[in-house]
Amino acid sequence: MHISRTDLNLFVVFEAIFTQGGVTRAAEMLNLSQPTISHALGRLRERIGDPLFVRRGQRLVPTAQAQAMIGPVRQALRLFEHTLAELDGFDPATAEMQFALGMRSLLEDSYFLPLAVLMSRSAPRASVASTPFDRRRMETALASGELNAVIDIFLPLSDEVRREHLPAASPSVVVARRGHPQIDGDIDIGRYLAADHVVVTSRGQGLGPEDLALSREGQARRVQARCQQISSAMRLVGASNMLLTMSETLARRANLLFDHQLLPTPFPAPVVDIYLYWHANTEADPANVWFRDMIRATVSETAPPVVADPG
């Protein structure tokens, strides 16, 4: 297969279908018609000699050949984008790019909303997606361009992945609804342990950092509910007598919609540090540099809050 006889736009379509899981969404993503996308996929299937995607329900699922192709294709497309950006210069006001930020779901409420709003003002023709990711594949996803950046806790990764500590860490606080029958303006360890608790986590079971800290003191709390979104936990606090323990920075942002009590923890709760990650091959990429600056501005504790209707 010689590159001179291959339309490289077919690989743009291939990546869009792989990312979006279907022709319709890929067409919307690329601002093309569905027949155009289907025709391009047909041409690439013929050129590669593989169906590339097979239908399962409402989604197109990649074949083994497509899975093997996606990493190198993404790396090549990112290299083209980087080369063109250096030639043309990156102008947020006119850039038509898609950015993918790897992020745990519990950080969305506090950090993704202001990032999306800030980017919509600075780069109205660009888009950003909060993307779940597998930590075991994080370096590969960053290297291939599947992810442009990641926000997460400290992770042991190779030197090819750059990291920067973000000013998002803060002491923990206890969140309780106003009018709580046992808690009004302060809390001690006895009332804390007597209450039921909700935790925000992506895991279905296991201890959180607060539980580990309590266990070192020979104490334990009762976790009655586990959820994946801070907003869900904040609503549950407002509808019950459960308590939520979390970072003060995250709590203050989330509490703009609720007006709960935020109280110092009655035990030495741990501080969880947050890091920004990107790959070495995008270190000097103008678009990625700009995207990282947008994330830093959003995560900064001095960033203006964005208040939205909680629905």
* CATH assignment of 89-168+273-311, among 3.40.30.10, 1.10.1740.10, 3.40.190.10, 3.40.50.150: 3.40.190.10
Average of per-residue pLDDT across 285-294: 91
Residue 212, pLDDT above cutoff 60: yes
Identify the CATH assignment for 172-264 out of 3.40.50.2000, 3.50.50.60, 3.40.50.300, 3.40.190.10.
3.40.190.10
Instruction: Please check whether residue 198 is in contact with residue 238, taking contact to mean a CB–CB distance below 8 angstroms.
Output: no
* In the predicted structure, residue 185 carries a pLDDT above the cut 60: yes
Residue-wise burial string across 159-172, b where 16 or more C-beta atoms lie within 10 A, e elsewhere:
eebbeeebebbbeb
- CA angle (309 as vertex; 292, 109 as ends), nearest 5: 35
172-264 shares the fold of 1-71: no
Q: What integer pLDDT is reported at residue 304 of this predicted model? A: 43
pLDDT, one tens digit per residue, over 47-58 is 899 999 998 887
Provide the pairing of β-strand 274-279 with 243-247.
unpaired
Q: Which one is predicted more confidently, 307 or 234?
A: 234
169 vs 91, residue with greater confidence: 91
What secondary structure letter does DSSP report for 112? I
CA distance 75 to 2: 19
Those residues whose C-beta lies under 8 Å from the C-beta of residue 250, and which sit 6 or more positions away, are 107, 109, 110, 168, 170, 230
pLDDT at residue 303, rounded to an integer = 46
pLDDT band at 151 (very low <50, low <70, confident <90, very high): very high
Number of CB atoms found within 10 A of residue 178's CB: 12
Residue 3, pLDDT > 70, answer no
3-state secondary structure at position 42: helix
Structure tokens at 59: 């989604």
- Domain boundaries in the chain? 1-71, 89-168+273-311, 172-264
**102 near 143, Cβ under 8 Å?**
no
Nearest to 95 by CA among 68, 78, 119, 130: 119
Cβ-Cβ contacts under 8 Å for 102 (sequence gap 6 or more): 131, 132, 133, 138, 141, 142, 147, 149, 150, 151, 152, 277
Place of tokens 């860490």: 169
pLDDT of residue 210 exceeding 60, the answer is yes
CATH architecture of 1-71: Orthogonal Bundle (1.10)
